């Protein structure tokens, strides 16, 4: 028995076994916890799905793009409006996801020309634009009055339904992306990040793959948005403000963008912190900010860098820095070589 | 038209000052300081508090607010930003986002979320032409904005200013020549905080001073700085003015609800056509 276990543990099926166990646990969990925790669990899964979308864009192709709250909003409103128009919910969700994809391609066009910082600003502007448009087209979205969402229920209650739907979509997302990551497409996307200069000479159109990354990311973001509508049950434009984008960025930052498990870790962490701070009342936001600042100050590589940070500490070296999250090579600090020149 | 131009320039002056502050910090530290406008809001609230509680003179209170903001900025920079310099862009960006949340909630915690007004010592209107009337406070915003930017340009020709420009260009050689990088970076953050405080004071003159006043301004200022190419102080300044004028014109001639949307569409178009900004001469793109 132990031998079988060890062989299984060492084999490449380890991830599969752990994954199946985790999914089984998640499927059984709502039987043992409060409704409130089921709600929080849904929130975690939805943030994790949204984070998966950002992982494709930021982790795979290395583009810092800040339009994700916009895609999320399009998905949320799209799903709610289409299902209010009589489309079955799953159809509405996919159609809204496709709308988000279309807008992702639209935003992606500047992305082909812009890099780094400028890309971040252009996409930030898009996210804000979506929010303004939601208010502007009040005849469709009901603007600041808010749009009530039709809740789905397969006969087990709305919260439980959302739990299982989110779980299924999260699993599909992780499995699909991990498979895509191994294909030629996945390698191309990472090549665009690591050796963009060389891709042209290799006959790879970097722009096409960047656009594709935007499309995939926007689709996943839109789907997550559709689920989020079920969670909040009432949509208003301010939900999709800068603060939501900040939550997404923190989710992917804490968990790391280089592994698909990253956004899940980040989402659990963010929801748990916010939940723990609930009792602090008006101090909640300040403490959240301070925790965030402290984490980045002492773990600049995010939570994923913790193991390597601890290992380094054990070896007695006190250098910090868990390595660039976006796989940027660490800059050579000539400064450190100059005596008395440390700032 | 003239009326829109004046109120556009007045609004734009606030955008411009925060944009200039962003460029200063960007050049010294290499990070987009998301907390820039929030630091200015903190300073503005200190000024308001000084007037409200001690009945201080307006100008004394404003100087006090500026100093408070500068001290806050220098403390934050030294304590949490400088130690992670050299980490990935993403980590540094998230750090300033963390500061944005922290400083905003600190302000909210101390002074609450109710709207406040700072009584301006200036009253009255100016007749600039047969049909053109401007509020003195609008003129003050335009003049002070221009004067501060001009002053900064002159400052950059001084010994200190040259050191700051040198550090922005090259991190190693100036230090071999004895320029203290730490001091230059601290000075940039302090200067940025002063400018942001002035910007927030003007911005909240027309509306109310409350804890959400800075959130909108940071997006506008970032857009303005990007229009200006994010590299030059004058570029950021004119970017801010242009954004303010376009927004006000759009609000006047199209519809008042559209003005922000128009500005945002504009920035995306500008970035598409000229990713290096419109107020810069052609140069190699920084990545």
Q: Are B34 and B18 in contact (CB under 8 A)?
A: no
Residues of B with Cβ-Cβ distance to A134 under 8 angstroms = none
Closest by Cβ to A293, choosing from B99, B171, B275: B99
Closest residue in B to A129 (Cα–Cα): B261
DSSP H or E segment with residue B126: strand B125-127
Q: Could you tell me how many CB contacts below 8 A there are between chain A and chain B?
A: 157
∠ CA(A293), CA(A295), CA(A300), 5° rounding?
Answer: 100
Separation in Å, CA of B187 to nearest CA in chain A: 13
> pTM for this one?
0.82
- Choose between A257 and A210: higher pLDDT: A210
3-class DSSP state of B185: helix
Residues of B with Cβ-Cβ distance to A286 under 8 angstroms = 102, 105-106, 109
pLDDT in tens, A72-85: 999 999 999 999 88
Q: Tell me if A330 is assigned to some domain.
A: no
pLDDT for the residue numbered A316: 57
Q: What ipTM does this complex have?
A: 0.84
Residues of A with Cβ-Cβ distance to B95 under 8 angstroms = 293, 296-297
pLDDT for the residue numbered A329: 37
Q: Tell me if A192 is assigned to some domain.
A: yes
| Structural domain range at position A166 | 34-277
CATH number, domain at A105?
1.10.3470
Closest by Cβ to A335, choosing from B80, B171, B272: B171
pLDDT for the residue numbered B249: 84
pLDDT for the residue numbered A334: 36
Q: Tell me if A269 is assigned to some domain.
A: yes
pLDDT in tens, A61-116: 777 778 889 999 999 999 999 998 888 989 999 999 999 999 988 888 776 777 66
Query: A302 at the B interface (CB within 8 A)?
Result: yes
Number of Cβ within a 10 Å radius of residue B253: 11
pLDDT for the residue numbered A317: 47
Q: Tell me if A294 is assigned to some domain.
A: no
Looking at the structure of chain A, the number of domains it has is 1
Closest residue in B to A335 (Cα–Cα): B172
Q: Which of residues 36-65 of A touch B (CB under 8 A)?
A: 58, 64
Question: Domain locations in chain B?
Answer: 2-212
Residue A341 has pLDDT above 70, yes or no: no
The verdict on a CB contact (< 8 Å) between A320 and B88 is no
pLDDT one digit per residue (tens) for chain B, 287 residues: 778 888 889 889 999 999 999 988 888 888 888 899 999 999 999 999 999 888 888 899 999 999 999 999 999 999 998 888 877 777 888 899 899 989 999 999 998 888 888 877 777 777 777 777 778 888 888 888 899 999 888 888 888 888 887 877 777 788 888 778 888 889 899 999 999 999 999 888 877 888 888 888 888 888 888 887 777 888 889 989 988 888 888 877 776 666 667 777 777 777 767 666 666 554 444 43
Q: Which range is least confidently modeled, A181-190, A306-315, B61-70, B167-176?
A: A306-315
pLDDT for the residue numbered B255: 67
pLDDT for the residue numbered B195: 94
d(CA B239, CA B221): 9
Residue A239 has pLDDT above 60, yes or no: yes
DSSP A236-302: -GGGGSHHHHHHHHHHHHHH-SSSTTHHHHHHHHHHHHHHHGGGGGGGHHHHHHHHHHHHHHH-TT-
For chain A, the average pLDDT equals 79
The torsion angles phi and psi of B134, rounded to 5 degrees, stand at: -125, 145
Q: Which range is least confidently modeled, A161-175, A265-279, A328-342, B270-284?
A: A328-342
The verdict on a CB contact (< 8 Å) between B94 and A250 is yes
Q: Tell me if A10 is assigned to some domain.
A: no
- Residue to mutate among B212, B268, B275, with most A CBs inside 10 A, is B268
Q: Tell me if A7 is assigned to some domain.
A: no
């Amino acid at each position: 028995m132990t031998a079988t276990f060890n062989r299984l543990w060492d084999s490449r099926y380890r991830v599969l076994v752990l994954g199946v166990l985790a999914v089984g646990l998640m499927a059984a969990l709502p039987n043992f916890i409060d409704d409130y925790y089921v709600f929080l669990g849904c929130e975690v899964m939805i943030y994790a799905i949204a984070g998966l979308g950002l992982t494709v864009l930021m982790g795979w192709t290395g583009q810092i793009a800040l339009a994700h709250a916009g895609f999320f909003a399009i998905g949320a409103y799209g799903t709610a409006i289409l299902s209010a128009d009589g489309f079955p919910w799953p159809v509405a969700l996919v159609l809204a996801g496709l709308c988000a994809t279309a807008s992702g391609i639209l935003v992606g066009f500047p992305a082909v020309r812009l890099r780094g910082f400028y890309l971040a600003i252009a996409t930030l502007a898009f996210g804000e634009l979506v929010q303004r448009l939601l208010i502007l087209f009040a005849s469709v979205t009901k603007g600041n009055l808010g749009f009530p969402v039709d809740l789905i229920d397969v006969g087990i209650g709305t919260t439980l339904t959302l739990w299982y739907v989110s779980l299924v979509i999260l699993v599909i997302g992780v499995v699909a992306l991990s498979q895509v990551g191994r294909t030629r497409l996945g390698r191309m996307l990472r090549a665009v990040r690591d050796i963009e200069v060389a891709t042209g000479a290799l006959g790879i159109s970097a722009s096409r793959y960047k656009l594709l990354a935007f499309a995939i990311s926007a689709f996943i973001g839109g789907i997550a948005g559709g689920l989020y509508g079920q969670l909040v049950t009432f949509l208003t434009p301010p939900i999709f403000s800068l603060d939501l984008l900040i939550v997404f960025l923190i989710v992917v930052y804490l968990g790391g963008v280089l592994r698909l498990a990253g956004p899940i870790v980040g989402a659990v962490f963010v929801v748990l912190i916010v939940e723990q701070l609930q009792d602090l009342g008006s101090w909640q936001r300040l403490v959240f900010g301070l925790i965030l600042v402290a984490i980045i100050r002492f773990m600049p590589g995010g939570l994923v860098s913790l193991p390597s940070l601890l290992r380094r500490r054990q070896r007695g070296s006190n250098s910090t820095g868990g390595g660039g999250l976006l796989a940027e090579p660490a800059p050579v600090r000539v400064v450190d070589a100059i005596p008395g020149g440390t700032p | 038209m003239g009326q829109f131009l004046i109120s556009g320039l007045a609004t734009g002056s606030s955008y411009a000052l925060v944009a200039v502050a962003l460029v200063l910090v960007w050049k010294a530290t290499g990070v987009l300081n998301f907390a820039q406008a929030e630091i200015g809001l903190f300073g503005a609230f200190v000024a308001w508090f000084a007037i409200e509680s001690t009945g201080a003179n307006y100008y004394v209170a404003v100087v006090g607010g500026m100093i408070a903001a500068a001290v806050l900025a220098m403390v934050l920079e030294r304590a949490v930003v400088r130690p992670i310099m050299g980490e990935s862009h993403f980590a540094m960006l998230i750090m300033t986002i963390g500061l944005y949340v922290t400083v905003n909630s600190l302000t909210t915690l101390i002074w609450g979320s109710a709207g406040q007004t700072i009584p301006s010592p200036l009253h009255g209107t100016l007749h600039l032409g047969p049909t053109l009337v401007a509020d003195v406070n609008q003129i003050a915003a335009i003049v002070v904005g221009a004067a501060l930017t001009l002053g900064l340009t002159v400052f950059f020709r001084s010994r200190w200013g040259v050191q700051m420009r040198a550090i922005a260009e090259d991190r190693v050689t100036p230090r071999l020549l004895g320029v203290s990088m730490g001091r230059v970076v601290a000075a940039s953050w302090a200067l940025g905080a002063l400018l942001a405080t002035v910007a927030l004071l003007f911005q909240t003159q027309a509306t109310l001073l409350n804890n959400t006043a800075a959130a909108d301004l940071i997006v506008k200022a970032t857009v303005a700085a990007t229009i200006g190419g994010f590299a030059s102080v004058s570029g950021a300044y004119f970017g801010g003015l242009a954004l303010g004028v376009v927004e006000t014109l759009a609000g006047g001639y199209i519809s008042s609800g559209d003005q922000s949307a128009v500005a945002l569409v504009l920035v995306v178009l500008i970035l598409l056509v000229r990713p290096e900004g419109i107020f810069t001469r052609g140069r190699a793109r920084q990545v």
